[in-house]
Amino acid sequence: MGNRLASLPEHVTRAGNQMAVTLSRLIEDGEKVFHGVNSPLPMVAIFLARKRHAPNCSLIEVAGSVDPEPRFMPNSTADPELCHGAASMFYNPDMYDLFARGGVDFAFLGAAQLDKQGRANLSYIGDPFHPKVRLPGGGGGAVIMPQVKRTVIWRTVHDRRFLVPRVDFSTQSGNLSHVVTPIALFEKKSTGLEIASVHPGHSMDDVIENTGFELEHPSVVAQTPAPSAEELRVLEELDPDGVRFSEFRL
């Protein structure tokens, strides 16, 4: 695995580390935080937050536990390793009950398409009866997104196929807070998704060119702080195998 990590292109390691720390910084200390299946970057981001600025956040694992102490970052984010050393078990029905009662503060969810109003599509692309692509579905997203206090959506690709004027189908929508891509951080405002900051090495023009909906162009474009040396050190220690890079297409 070490060899695979060394052979990753520099733009992937840079984007992966930037996304991991940007996701991590959105978590506030003391929050009850959830990540789902197929979520390597959020998983690493939550463990980073727990080791850094949010030691008292409670991690509710889709694997069925609370506050585990995994010995390594598994490739699957529903791996039994994510129950190792857990403070308690907390299975999926418990988790959904907690969402329904407004008891979860923060959830990371994915999307294949996303529009400015924060509607996320994980169902199909094209004609519903003859779809061009049949997507895997939203899992619990349609229940989670309107019930959790804050949702953050991430995707390791930033292009006009992802960020569209209008989703082909709205699988889930609700309390969207931020969106993190390899080049920028969006914030959901009353007007819809707008740029909060652009990652180092990228420009507002890159963002506009690769975003399929209209954006306000701020007079001064904020830059996302780069990962600090300390954040990078903890990331390396947490995830020496580079599971956080596994969502990038090489």
Partner 1 sequence: MIHVQKSDAQGNAQILGNQQFDVEMTRAAQKGVILTTEKIVDPEELAAEPERTTIPGFLVKAVVETPGGASPCSCHPYYGVDKTEMRRYMTLTQSQGGLREYLANTDESHAQDEVTK
Q: Which chain residues interact with partner 1 by CB under 8 A?
A: 63-65, 75-76, 78-80, 82-83, 89, 91-93
Tokens of 35: 């990540």
197: part of which helix (H) or strand (E)? Answer: strand 192-198
87 or 89, CB closer to partner 1? 89
57 or 95, CB closer to partner 1? 95
In the block, which residue shows the tokens 């197929």? 38
Q: How far is the CB of 49 from partner 1 (least distance, A)?
A: 22
Tokens of 128: 């519903």
Q: How far is the CB of 79 from partner 1 (least distance, A)?
A: 7
Q: How far is the CB of 237 from partner 1 (least distance, A)?
A: 22
Name 180's bridge partners: 154, 185
Q: How far is the CB of 63 from partner 1 (least distance, A)?
A: 5
65 or 113, CB closer to partner 1? 65
3 neighbors 235 (Cβ within 8 angstroms)? no
197 or 246, CB closer to partner 1? 246
140 or 227, CB closer to partner 1? 140
95 or 179, CB closer to partner 1? 95
Picking from 56, 5, 2, the residue whose alpha carbon sits closest to that of residue 33 is: 56
123 neighbors 113 (Cβ within 8 angstroms)? no
- Angstrom distance (rounded) from CA 52 to CA 85: 20
Q: How far is the CB of 103 from partner 1 (least distance, A)?
A: 20
Tokens of 218: 């701020």
Torsion, Cα of 73, 78, 79, 83 (10° steps): 90
Q: How far is the CB of 93 from partner 1 (least distance, A)?
A: 6
25 or 244, CB closer to partner 1? 244
Give the other-Cβ count within 10 Å of 149's Cβ.
14
- Angstrom distance (rounded) from CA 205 to CA 112: 23
Tokens of 155: 């995707």
- DSSP reduced 3-state for 142: helix
Q: How far is the CB of 133 from partner 1 (least distance, A)?
A: 16
